[in-house]
Amino acid sequence: MRRRLLLPLLLLLGPSLLSAEPIAPTDKAGPWAFRKPVRPDAPRVSDPHWVKNPIDAFVLARLDKAGLKPSAPAGRVALLRRVTYDLTGLPPTLQELDDFLTDDQPDAYARVVDRLLASPHFGERWAQHWLDVVRYAETNGYESDGERPYAWRYRDYVVKAFNDDKPYDCFLTEQLAGDLLAGEAARKGVAGADRPEATELIAAGFNRCGPVHETSGNVDAAMLRQELLTEMTNGVGAAFLGLTVGCCRCHDHKFDPLPQTDYYRLQAFFSAAQPKEIDLSTAAERAEYDRRQHEMEAKIAPLKKQVEDIEAPVRGRLSAAKKSKLETPYRDALASEADKRTPEQKKLAEQAGVLVKVAWDEIVDALPTAERARRAALREQIHALEAQRPAPPAQAWTLAENGSPLFSHVLKRGSLNQKGARVAPGFPRILDPDAKNPPDGAPALNRLDLARWLTRPDHPLTARVIVNRLWQYHFGRGLVATPDDFGAHGEAPTHPELLDWLAVELVEHGWSLKHLHRLMVMSGAYQQDSAAKDAAGKRIDPDNHLLWRMNRRRLDADGLRDGVLAVAGTLNPAVGGPMVRTPLEPEVYDLIFSEGEPDGLWPVTPDVRQHARRSLYLFTKRNLRLPLLEVFDQPDTLSPCPVRAVSTFAPQALVLLNGPFLQAQSKAFAARVLHEAGVDDAARVDRAYRLALCRPPRESERRAALDFLAGQTELLRARQPVGATDPVGPAAAAFADFCLAMLNRNEFVYVP
């Protein structure tokens, strides 16, 4: 009772008293997540023959305890489709399907797994998962949403790291402190982005992935700086610690033993870090860029001059008309000499300038029809040339230390105007209770020290958090269902011994993530059928927390779009490179760019082959998502996304049936099938089924498809105007409609 009475008083006194000491846990070791993981022995189980690796022993032990049995193994087609999508984000090809179905060797599946882990598409798939967590985007967000032209190099760094199986401790260290690893000397004269120093500098872009307000005269610079430090601190908590450290910004954590002081000790690691773009190009590359830019400007300038000449008479006439309607004080203020205006006249003149400003649409509306068309043609030429500008010289979008002392102030209620005690960099004390502050005069801890502490083999959280993420993406639900909250308010692990076993396994195998991937997808638990056939399982564990079957999952937004491209045969498999802008639907254009002249504001990538790149490479704008991706729950990138939502609502069906992307790809899919299967309708139907669903149609499905094609062909032929010549033809158009229906099937959209 006395403690309850004291708490309101301590809250009023602020952080200097409330957070002066860490909150002592009732148990010296702390809750489960704050104790170092220890490898348990694999338990004894009822059916040792079902166990393919130690993962299965832990899963089966929990099933035995609940009185449940694992499901039968999945069929070969379902298993191949599942593991191919999981590891690469793409469906298997027909050749891969045939090779697996005809391979009767006992290690056939193991060789498929090894092939997929070695695929360059593996890194692309798993990079997307990581980019969700770190809220990666290529714009700043908020009102201006300015572009980040060099951010894509960080995305490519992540892809390469996963493909190369970069040890996770190295992956973490490079992202958290890559600029410190590179060192001041290595930053000078870097010749290219493929050098190790450049890799480390690019990796440190992790710290800048979050949204930021752009600097302007109306925004407090100190406030912007504090927001940046908050983003960096919260990013570490979400990505690596799996704790809601952001809850400590204004007060002690309400559920976990994390005092507010520890939040600002963690933030102090970043107190001298400044955003910086570091040149990675050679002098010759910069000179070539300048030369090409000069050539482009020389081509564009005459076109701009012609547009100005067209607009000038109309602009002048409209401006004069607006000035004539101004009230006398405004006209007098504009007529007076600028350097002799009184303070009141300066304000009036500024307001008058806004009132007489002529908007682009007013000019266009006032132009004669011929001049309007000529202006539009000139602007189209300008935008076409703008799209051909050379890519800027290579730069690392990174951090640099500014040399100032490393410290932070505890902010009362998180307010920058209420600074409390000054604190040095330090680790959360519940995770490092024996840590001591550096002696007086010793250098403060820096981000490299933070990275080394996070990657200690006995760290309670780092390995657990990342193996839980891998488990979640493979099985549909993490062993801890709240992957960004391992604290008291998060969910307890369903298989705590398995979580610890995996964490220790990761560390003891050199922090190799591919080793963990292989273990998980090779397990009997992963290879189970996903059909809920066991009545006891549905009654005792309806949510399948104990894994008595595999979870059936819908493709995420990226996997759905990429799968459609792959099946249609239009996918551009190129890996890496700058972001790609695809055409927007007109209604999206009108919605987003309604305040300015829309042409040129979304410069579509001129090479149409790039439009069929994987979704990972599409330009990621925080304030704009493509309708197909948004409607299937692509995250908004404003905050970390540890688990993508899976919603079901009407616009999804509308986008899949009527959206321009699916309409275009269904025609490409039909053209592919017509080219590969010939003129026989039955052969075409079989080919379409195998491409989309990795299986031939059942006899009833084949009959229904042939009946649909016959009826749809007749319907389209009847709708043709008399004497019309359709270059596609009713039969081909009907088959495109059939292909659209195939891409809308649940069996295509869901992975078994």
**Average pLDDT for consecutive 10-residue bins of the chain (752 residues)?**
38 34 39 93 96 98 97 97 98 97 97 98 98 96 88 97 98 96 61 68 95 76 90 94 92 90 94 93 92 94 94 89 83 82 85 82 90 93 90 91 90 88 92 72 86 96 98 97 93 97 98 98 98 94 97 97 98 96 82 68 90 97 92 93 94 94 97 94 97 97 97 91 69 96 97 94
pLDDT at 23: 33
Cβ 537 vs Cβ 548: under 8 Å = yes
Question: Residue 572: what pLDDT?
Answer: 98
**Res 1: pLDDT:** 40
493: three-class secondary structure by DSSP: coil
Cβ neighbours of residue 75 closer than 8 Å, sequence gap 6 or more: 529
Q: What does the block give as tokens for 523?
A: 């397990």
Residue 528 forms beta bridges with which residues?
73
The per-residue pLDDT for 641 is 95
Q: Please answer whether residues 475 and 550 qualify as being in contact, where contact means their C-beta atoms are separated by less than 8 angstroms.
A: yes
Q: Minimal CA–CA distance to 513: which of 20, 149, 170, 40?
A: 170
In contact, 511 and 168? CB cutoff 8 Å: yes
**Which residues, 6+ apart, have CB-to-CB distance to 107 below 8 Å?**
none
Q: Which residue has the tokens 């493509």?
A: 626
How many angstroms separate the CA atoms of 739 and 543, rounded?
Answer: 34
Alpha-carbon Rg of the chain, whole angstroms?
30
> What pLDDT was estimated at residue 14?
37
Helix (H) / strand (E) element for 450: namely helix 447-454
Checking DSSP bridges between strand 408-411 and strand 395-401, what pairing results, if any?
unpaired
For residue 320, the model assigns a pLDDT of: 86
Placement of tokens 């148990």 in the chain: 27
For residue 226, what are the contacts with CB-CB under 8 A and spacing of at least 6? 411, 416
Structure-token pair, residue 100 = 């697996």
- Token digits for 278? 């570091």
pLDDT at 194: 56
Residue 517: half-sphere exposure toward Cβ, Cα within 13 Å:
24
> Which of these, 428, 415, 363, 497, lies nearest to 39 by C-alpha position?
497
pLDDT (0 to 100) of residue 338: 82
DSSP 8-state assignment for residue 293: H
Q: CA torsion sign, 679 to 683 to 688 to 694?
A: negative
Question: Distances in Å between the alpha carbon of 334 and those of 38, 312, 321, 566?
Answer: 78, 20, 14, 62
At residue 687, the pLDDT reads 97
pTM score, two decimals? 0.90
Q: For position 439, what pLDDT does the model report? A: 66
Judge residue 286's burial from the number of C-beta atoms within 10 Å of its C-beta, 0-12 exposed, 13-18 middle, 19 or more buried. Answer: middle
Is 124 exposed, middle or buried, given 0-12, 13-18 or 19+ CB atoms closer than 10 A? Answer: buried
Q: Tell me the C-alpha to C-alpha distance, in Å, between residue 235 and each of 179, 239, 258, 344, 399.
A: 17, 6, 16, 48, 15
User: Could you tell me the CA-to-CA distances from 531 to 85, 281, 415, 560 in Å, in that order?
Assistant: 18, 55, 53, 22
- In 15-76 the beta strands, taken as DSSP E runs, fall at none
